[in-house]
């Protein structure tokens, strides 16, 4: 399953190793989901992680190496034409990445994205909703 992770989910996986966002990262590392990325999202991930002081952390170095190796990752280019999230236009890149990658889900803790609920065939789910969604998918 192809998935786009909002920055808040990605960063939360570093800040709380026992939380649901970390479980999602583990699913990606184990190859159970494919992380969909574009340059704009990677740039935001690194910027925010650096602001939290994680730029020298071993996990961040490992993460960058995984990005370089393209392990369970689908890279796409976006053209920044989508205008869905008027309250926070920077969130549009996550939906646009999902569209370009033909992803099923955008996982986010951001109210602006979650309020969309769905855009075309792409679901907007919180981390806990995503885990429940995966469980339902595996039962079917």
Mean pLDDT, residues 77-99 taken together: 89
Q: Give me the percent of the chain exceeding a pLDDT of 70.
A: 94
Q: In terms of pTM, does the model score above 0.75?
A: yes
Q: 76 pLDDT exceeds 60?
A: yes
Mean pLDDT, residues 63-72 taken together: 76
Cα 77 from Cα 7, distance rounded (Å) = 17
Helix (H) or strand (E) holding 125: strand 122-125
List residues bridging with 37 in a β-sheet: 75
pLDDT value of position 55:
56
CATH of residue 16:
3.40.50.1010
| pLDDT tens sequence across 21-60 | 999 999 998 999 999 999 999 989 988 887 877 655 676 6
Mean pLDDT, residues 102-121 taken together: 95
Q: Give me the percent of the chain exceeding a pLDDT of 90.
A: 60
Mean pLDDT, residues 127-139 taken together: 93
pLDDT tier for residue 2 given thresholds of 50, 70 and 90: very high
Give start and end residues of each alpha helix (H) in the chain. Answer: 7-15, 20-29, 39-51, 58-69, 92-101, 111-116, 127-139
Question: Which residue segment(s) compose the domain that 110 sits in?
Answer: 2-139
Mean pLDDT, residues 111-115 taken together: 94
CA angle 103, 87, 98 (to 5 degrees): 5
- How many structural domains are present in the chain? 1
Mean pLDDT of the chain: 89
Cα 38 from Cα 86, distance rounded (Å) = 21
């Amino acid at each position: 399953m192809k998935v786009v992770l909002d920055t808040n989910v990605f960063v939360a996986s570093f800040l709380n190793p026992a939380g649901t966002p970390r479980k999602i990262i583990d699913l990606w590392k184990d190859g159970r989901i494919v992380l969909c990325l574009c340059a704009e999202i990677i740039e935001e991930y690194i910027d925010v992680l650096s602001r939290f002081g994680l730029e020298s952390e071993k996990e961040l170095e490992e993460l960058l190496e995984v990005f370089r190796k393209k392990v369970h990752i689908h890279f796409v280019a976006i053209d920044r034409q989508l205008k869905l999230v008027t309250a926070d236009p920077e969130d549009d890149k996550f939906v646009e990445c999902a569209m370009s990658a033909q992803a099923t889900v955008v996982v986010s803790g951001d109210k602006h994205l979650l309020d969309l609920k769905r855009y075309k065939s792409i679901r907007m789910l919180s981390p806990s909703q995503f885990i429940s969604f995966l469980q339902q998918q595996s039962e079917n």
